[in-house]
Structure 1
Amino acid sequence: MKTCLLVNAASGGWGRLGGTLASLAAQSGTPIIDICSAPVAELVPSSGRVVIAGGDGTISTIVNAVGPRIRELEIALVPTGTGNDLARSLDLFGRPPEEIWQSCLTAAVSPIDLVRVVNGDTSYIVNAATGGFGGMVSTDVTSDDKGRWGALAYWFTAFSKIAALKEYRVRIELDSETRELDAYGLAITNGRYVGGGFPVAPDAKLNDGLLDVTTVPNLPTIELLAAGLDFMIGRHDAVDRVETIQSAHVRVIAEPRIPYSFDGETVRSVDATFDVVTDAMNVVAGEFPPAL
């Protein structure tokens, strides 16, 4: 099977690990393709195994460029992004590059779902959409804060912005019910993590045909901070008002319209519909992937 390595040569992740990955690719005879060198859809092969060096945003860019034919490829991931949240759900984060590279070349693949989003246009999400304060925070968490606070950097960044948080009146239409609430934000996820490892949907599975919808209602400041700490230490069942529900179809209507981050990339404020596309992509996972 033919294998290639897709990279963003201008990214910080490639700057840190590019030398190592280039050496590993040369040893295995794997060609390197820079996704900035031409339209992405023209660079992705029609078959074979595609190794992607990047984070959620890079994977999302490639998936959206290729569209449904992503299903015909085998996808392997070397996590070199800033958040690497999909990699965390696949047990690929924090491993030595040499170990991950070997898995990229030889490990079997497993099917996972994608999320189709209709918000005027149609696009795909590989990991998560965060809206409201979640959308704002996902793009504002700095690399330094991630290094200092780890996964808690996401919630601490939200806490630092508490005075500026906007309230939304949200209507969420699910498979079997409709809910209305006042909220600071929400997350609609395929994987478990956002913002560099924050477990916003601790029980999510990438292959169950369901989305996990976590809502953050308007809470007093101290309760908001406490809720984040409970999630981090695995006590999400103790968080009374931060709720996660599952559905294959989710429509969100909000007043005012909610700004979103799709796979860590900011998009405009819209009302949107989210649907699961089952078994849409075949990926390499680590030995103990928590979301498979």
Structure 2
Amino acid sequence: MVARDALIVANPAARNGRARASVPGVADILRSHGWSVDIAITTCAEHAAEIAAAGEPDGPLLVALGGDGLVARVAEGAIRSGALVAPLPGGRGCDFIRAIGGSRDLHEAASSLPLATERRVDVGFAGATPFLGVATVGYDSRANDHANEAPAWLPAALVYAYGGARALAETRSTSITMTTDGVSRTFAGWSVAIGNSGRYGAGMIVNPGALLDDGELDITTVEGLPRWKYPMLLPRYFKGTHIDGIDIRAARGREIEVTAPVGQRVYADGDVVGRTPMTFTVEQEALRILV
């Protein structure tokens, strides 16, 4: 067990303010292990990245307390500074926490940090924006629009189902052009999900083969699927058994470009990061995390 200097970087909006309310308790847990703890409450996503970018490889541990978006922004800064990051479950989905096998109980996760070990993980890039989980184009992005607007009382496990149901009524299959490591193809489809950890939507395993340290991004495309089948797929997404090689296909690559349709919004780790055309890349073992 190592006593550390730690800086808690908290998103005050995560889980409708509950993440911020939990900061003193997390600080007390870490201090009970002999840690020196400071606190930084972020004012925006860019602020979180700036805080992490000001860190140092041998400086305070950056304890990221918020959702997947906050963890991604702390990672963005930490890639530049070389600082070590410890993600804690402060959001609704906590998909990166799930991917690294961490506890989604905040008290348990904070209490276990003194016994955690360092590892390096890959970081995906949607254009110039780093992401740890999944970047999406098409139906999945539209579902994210609605999921972000879901009522606060809705349980985390149902937020994406809510968003997906609303998106289903207004999304249409369209012509998608995608180039993977120089090989291009055009298909009629609903969505493209490009995964680093491969998880989104509070537990959905959209890219079942994704690994966080293989130097590649996994791709799941929904192509010839009839609209009426979509709701029936939801349980299979949580199990990671939805890939059939026909309507839902899996691929993998280091550089993926989605050029058409033009102007569609791209989400990464639950936040809008731009519009198509966009190129997605990966940097292997770019981030130090405490697991």
Normalised to the residue count of structure 2, the TM-score between the two structures is: 0.84
Structure 2 residue 197 is the aligned partner of structure 1 residue 178? no
Structure 2 residue 104 is the aligned partner of structure 1 residue 101? no
Residues 140-159 of structure 1: pairs in structure 2 closer than 5 A: 140-141=146-147, 142=150, 144-147=153-156, 150=157, 153-155=159-161, 157-159=163-165
Aligned length: 276
Structure 2 residue 64 is the aligned partner of structure 1 residue 52? yes
Aligned mates of 2:290, 2:217 — CA distance in 1: 21
Aligned mates of 2:287, 2:100 — CA distance in 1: 13
Counterpart position of 1:14: 19
Match of 1:6, SS?
strand
Which stretches in structure 1 are left out of the alignment for 5+ residues? 286-292
Comparing 242-251 with 2-11, greater Cα deviation is found at: 2-11
Counterpart position of 2:42: 35
Q: 1:218 to 1:159 in 2, by over 3 A?
A: farther
Aligned mates of 1:234, 1:185 — CA distance in 2: 17
CA contact (8 A) 2:205 2:239 kept: no
Out of 90, 96, 101, the residue aligned to residue 100 of structure 2 is: 90
Aligned mates of 1:41, 1:185 — CA distance in 2: 29
Match of 1:9, SS?
coil
Q: CA RMSD in A?
A: 2.5
How far apart are residue 39 of structure 1 and its match?
4.1
Q: 1:240 to 1:156 in 2, by over 3 A?
A: farther
Which stretches in structure 2 are left out of the alignment for 5+ residues? none
Residues 68-217 of structure 1: pairs in structure 2 closer than 5 A: 68-70=79-81, 72-95=82-105, 97-118=106-127, 122-141=128-147, 142=150, 144-147=153-156, 150=157, 153-155=159-161, 157-175=163-181, 177-217=183-223
Counterpart position of 1:290: none
Aligned mates of 2:240, 2:205 — CA distance in 1: 9
CA contact (8 A) 1:77 1:104 kept: no
Q: 1:63 to 1:193 in 2, by over 3 A?
A: same
> What amino acid sits opposite 1:86 in the alignment?
F
Match of 2:275, SS?
coil
How far apart are residue 224 of structure 1 and its match?
1.8
CA contact (8 A) 2:142 2:167 kept: no
Taking every aligned residue pair, what percent have the same amino acid on both sides?
22
Q: Deviations over 1:204-233 (max 9, x none)?
A: 101111101111125222222233333334
Structure 2 residue 240 is the aligned partner of structure 1 residue 229? no
> What amino acid sits opposite 1:109 in the alignment?
E
Aligned mates of 2:168, 2:93 — CA distance in 1: 22
CA contact (8 A) 2:194 2:218 kept: yes
Q: Deviations over 1:122-149 (max 9, x none)?
A: 22112111111111212422354444xx
> What amino acid sits opposite 2:89 in the alignment?
P
Q: 1:168 to 1:146 in 2, by over 3 A?
A: farther
Normalised to the residue count of structure 1, the TM-score between the two structures is: 0.84
How far apart are residue 93 of structure 1 and its match?
4.0
Q: Which has the higher contact order (CA 8 A, sep 6+)?
A: 1
